[in-house]
């Protein structure tokens, strides 16, 4: 091979390296989804979302009205509108449903029978609400690290999810602050449902 051809080959290789390093362009933007997060006071909504955002546990304060967090994942950003779960706030939940693309419902799996009954009624209302009934649901049975925690099967049976949510897109997962990998996996499953739901809509 002549010196000219060798030089041309090296120049072409330099060009390819330059294209790879400098002309790659910005990575594609991650899709964003607007979600509403509901559940009774004490279910752990704020703590779970704060942990996913890598916020200090010392800064966690129970939500009294509503708050919005951008929760980043590798393949999506979830803009989560968390609504307070007190008695005097829950009656206004539906005012904040508009524009939601998915729902996160957090329940305390170790709560009293009365609170669990209230949580069941609220979840049933959400599953049947006109603005939410067709959306993907992630139902988190939180506080699985507590001795009194009910299993996922117990929660599924008590909440009558199989007959009520038949035909809907929903996931029921156990969770606790001690197992972030399981929590992140639950949200990954939700993102898959959101992608499928948006694809069907388009």
Binding annotation: 39-46, 82-86, 142-145
Binding residue numbers for GTP: 39-46, 82-86, 142-145
CA angle in degrees (0–180, nearest 5) for 15-18-21: 150
CA distance linking residue 110 with residue 88, whole number of Å: 23
3-state SS, residue 173:
strand
Contacts of 24 (CB under 8 A, 6+ apart): none
Reference 52, options 71, 80, 36; nearest CA is: 71
**47, two tokens:** 């703590």
CA 99 to chain CA mean position, Å: 16
Using only C-alpha atoms, the chain has a radius of gyration, in whole angstroms, of 23
Distance of alpha carbon 78 from its chain centroid, rounded? 7
């Amino acid at each position: 091979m002549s010196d000219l051809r060798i030089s041309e080959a090296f120049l072409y290789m330099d060009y390819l390296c330059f294209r790879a390093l400098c002309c790659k362009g910005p990575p594609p933007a991650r899709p964003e989804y607007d979600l509403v997060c509901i559940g009774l006071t004490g279910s752990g909504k704020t703590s779970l979302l704060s942990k996913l955002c890598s916020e200090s546990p010392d800064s966690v304060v129970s939500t009294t009205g509503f708050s919005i967090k951008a929760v980043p994942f590798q393949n999506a950003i979830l803009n989560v509108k968390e609504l307070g779960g007190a008695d005097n706030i829950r009656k206004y939940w539906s005012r904040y449903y508009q524009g939601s693309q998915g729902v996160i419902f957090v329940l305390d799996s170790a709560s009293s029978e009365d609170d669990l009954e209230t949580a069941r009624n609220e979840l049933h209302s959400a599953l049947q609400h006109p603005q939410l009934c067709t959306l993907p649901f992630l139902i988190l049975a939180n506080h699985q690290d507590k001795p009194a925690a009910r299993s996922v099967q117990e929660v599924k049976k008590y909440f009558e999810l199989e007959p009520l949510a038949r035909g809907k897109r929903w996931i029921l997962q156990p969770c606790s602050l001690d197992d972030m990998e399981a929590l992140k996996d639950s949200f990954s499953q939700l993102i898959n449902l959101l992608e499928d739901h948006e694809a069907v809509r388009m």
